[in-house]
Amino acid sequence: MSQANPAKDGANSGMGEALSSYDTETSRAATSRGLSWRQKAARSSLTKALLHPAITLLCLLILFALIFFGTLYQADHGLFEAQKKFFGYGFVLIGGFFPLPAASLVIWVLSIQLAIMMAFHLPWKLNRIGLWIVHLGIMALLMGGFITQMLAVESQLTLAEGETGHFTTAYHEHELAFWETQGDTNRVYAFDESMLKPDRELDLEPYHARIKVHAYYMNSDAFTTRATNGPKYINASGIGMLEQRKPEKEVTQNAPGVIFTLQENGKADKEILLYGQELQTLMLTLDGKKVSAQLRLKHYPLDFSLHLTSFIKNVHPGTDIPSSFESYADLGEGGSTRPVKVWMNNPLRHAGYTFFQASYAQAQGMANKSTFAVVTNPGRVMPYISSLVVFGGLLLHFLIRLVPFIRRESAK
């Protein structure tokens, strides 16, 4: 406030000084006797260097540039590529030549600065309470983002009317799955695509076998012929060769492929090729058991089941403009079922899962299909809370500044 704090420069006065300097206050407080640990820490040259405002402003400017150019990049290359390029921990070459640190790096620097600032620097004063709340909220928002990035799982479930779903499917992550059918359940043993690195050896424990990965392609073309002198692979669809391709703009359109050797004790090695777009599953006999193998979109088993009874699409009268999409389903758990309805802006929440009405398919002579986006996200509530906190803080801070201003101006 202008009364408490002499203006730093002629320009800073009155309302123009709403976010006035706390550097000045801290240093003033420091001249009085008996420094607290907080004040001592704030005065250390390390803290000062770490909290240098130029770093903060530079980081914010870089973030601004990254989002701007990332958005342009996304239009041409798709979201997945843009996120990989601009949101990682490395460096981005803007326009092919100007290097900038990628967003995660920048956000970490800002978060650390924020933490230090809150720990040592921001003064404990009543008229700063708004700023405290704002920055605490920002902290929580960033933490929520981190939790979501680390722990949230997004998948989907497509059901035709009359079908029951027991698991959801990833959008684009694949897995190398082996399973044997026992009654009406499958016992599955699967490796994430992230584990399929060349020359890596993986144990296929239940069948006392080993896998040696030769190649994993995120996107590839399959050929029924095989390269001259190349090995002859075992494959259910007669694929003889894979060739790597540049990943697609839409990551869901990638067709991955894997080539590996299956080693069993006392048996000849098997050279196996699996392709992500295959309809057939490969049947193997392992350890005397009938085992299916497939490179498929990752499955996430559910502890309950969802049975789609009907899907309804409504349109505005006399047009093709949809006014709502509605799925009616039965949720089955522990022997009992209950009817549920999922529609636009009104998801189904159950056991940590959230089912959103995402898409549909209708065709003449076929049962309607409904697609749900399925999300589990332990950090889900964080943005709700933190944004409320930030908003409250901003409002409080601006009111603290604005009310005296209006009073003063009205008095004039």
Partner 1 sequence: MKTPSPVTAVLLLVLAASLAPAREKSANPGPDMDRKFDSLFEASQKPAAGAAAGTPVEEVSGDAMPSGHPDVSGDPHAGMGMGPHGHGSMPSLLPDIGPVPAGSLAKVGALETVPVLHEGRLKPMITYARHMLLQFSGRTSYEKLSAIQVMAKLLFTPELTGDYRIFLINNPEVAEALGVVPEKSRRYSFKMLEKALPKLQELAEKANAVADEKRDLVQKEVLRVFGNLVEFVNITRTFSYALPNPIYTVKLPETRQQLELQPDVTRYSFWDLMSSAQAIAKILEGIGNRGEAERTPMEREIISLSQAMYLNSQSLHPSPFRIFPISPAAAAATGQPGWVSPAEMVAVPEQLQAYHKELNAWSGAAAAYRSGKQEEFDKNVAEYLGAMENRAYEQLSETHFPLEVLYQKGEPYFWALVLYWFALLGCFSFFLTRKRWLYNASLGLFLSGYAIHLVGIISRIIIMKRPPVTSLYETFPFVAAVSILAALFIERFNRKAIGLLSASLLGVILLSIANRYAAEGDTMKMLVAVLNSNFWLSTHVVCVTIGYSACLLAGAIGHVWLIRALVPGDESKPERLKEIAKMVYGTLCFGLLFSFIGTVLGGIWADQSWGRFWGWDPKENGALLIVIWCVIMLHAKHWGYVRNRGMALGSVFGAIVVSLAWFGVNLLNVGLHSYGFTQGAATKLFVYCGSELAFMSIAAVGLQLGWGSKPGPGKGPLSPERLGPAA
Kindly calculate the radius of gyration of the chain based on its CA atoms and give it in whole angstroms.
29
Taking the complex as a whole, how short is the minimal distance between the CB of residue 11 and partner 1, in angstroms?
4
- Residue numbers 55-94 binding partner 1 by CB under 8 A: 56-57, 60-61, 63-64, 67-68, 70-72, 74-75, 79, 82-83, 87
Does 375 bind partner 1 (CB under 8 A)? Our answer is: yes
- Give min distance, CB of 71 to partner 1, in A: 5
H-run or E-run covering 358? strand 353-361
Strands 185-192 and 201-204: unpaired
7-26 positions binding partner 1, by CB under 8 A: 8-9, 11-16, 18-21, 23
Asked if 184 contacts 166 with a C-beta cutoff of 8 angstroms, the reply is: no
Q: Kindly state the smallest distance separating residue 3's Cβ from partner 1, in Å.
A: 17
Dmax (CA) of the chain = 98
Output 261 or 377, the one with its CB closest to partner 1. Answer: 377
Size of the site for partner 1 (CB under 8 A): 72
Q: Is 358 in the site for partner 1 (CB under 8 A)?
A: yes
Q: Which of 101, 256 has the CB closer to partner 1?
A: 101
User: H or E element: which one contains 383?
Assistant: helix 381-411
| 132 or 189: CB nearest partner 1 | 132
Spell out, one character per residue from 234 to 273, where the chain touches partner 1: x when CB under 8 A holds, - when not.
----------------------------------------
Residue 176 tokens read as 């190398």
- Contacts (CB under 8 A) with partner 1, residues 192-211: none
**HSE of 272 in the Cβ direction (CA atoms, 13 Å)?**
24
Residue 43 Cβ, how far from partner 1 at the closest point, in Å? 18
Alpha-carbon distance 252 to 169, whole Å? 12
Q: Are strands 241-244 and 164-182 parallel, antiparallel or unpaired?
A: unpaired
141, 387 contact by CB (below 8 A):
yes
Q: Do residues 178 and 188 make contact, with C-beta atoms less than 8 angstroms apart? A: yes
Encoded one letter per residue, x for contact with partner 1 by CB under 8 A and - for no contact, window 128-167 reads -----------------x--x---x-x-------------
117 lies in the binding site for partner 1 (CB under 8 A): no
By the 8 A CB rule, do 161 and 310 touch? yes
- Residues within window 293-352 making contact with partner 1, judged by CB under 8 A: 315-325, 344-347
Could you tell me which stretch among 175-183, 270-278, 291-299, 384-392 binds partner 1 (CB under 8 A)?
Answer: 384-392
Closest by CA to 25, choosing from 106, 96, 104, 126, is 126
What minimum distance in Å lies between the beta carbon of 108 and partner 1? 16
Contact 173, 192 (CB under 8 A): yes
Residue type for position 291? V
